[in-house]
């Protein structure tokens, strides 16, 4: 059994680490558009729309042939 007399608590360090991890996680979630707390912030969705349109055009062209 460890001796806890005179040992300092690490609660402050753990709480600080929890805050840092929470801020990072919130930033990642906001960046990828899962949440939209800050408008016009994060990953641009235009790239995905252009890729989908190109796929539709290729599929349509191959079906006509």
Length of the chain: 65
CB atoms within 10 A of CB 34: 9
> Which tokens sit at 3?
């001796």
Give the pLDDT score at 63.
59
Per-residue pLDDT of the chain (65 residues; tens, 9 = 90+): 567 777 788 899 999 999 999 999 999 988 888 888 888 777 765 554 555 555 555 655 555 55
Give the pLDDT score at 65.
54
Q: Position of tokens 């001796």? A: 3
Give the pLDDT score at 19.
97
Give the pLDDT score at 23.
96
Q: With respect to residue 47, please indicate whether it lies within any of the assigned structural domains.
A: yes
Q: Position of tokens 């460890």? A: 2
pTM above 0.85, yes or no: no
Q: With respect to residue 1, please indicate whether it lies within any of the assigned structural domains.
A: no
Q: With respect to residue 48, please indicate whether it lies within any of the assigned structural domains.
A: yes
Domains in the chain: how many in total?
Answer: 1
Q: With respect to residue 59, please indicate whether it lies within any of the assigned structural domains.
A: yes
3-class DSSP assignment, residue 56:
helix
Q: With respect to residue 58, please indicate whether it lies within any of the assigned structural domains.
A: yes
CA 29/CA 6 separation, integer angstroms: 41
CA 34/CA 3 separation, integer angstroms: 47
């Amino acid at each position: 059994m460890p001796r806890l007399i005179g040992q300092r608590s690490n609660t402050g360090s753990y709480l600080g680490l929890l805050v840092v991890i929470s801020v990072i996680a919130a930033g990642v979630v906001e960046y990828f558009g899962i949440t939209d707390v800050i408008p016009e912030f994060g990953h641009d969705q235009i790239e995905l729309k252009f890729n989908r349109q190109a796929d539709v055009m290729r599929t349509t062209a191959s079906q006509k042939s």
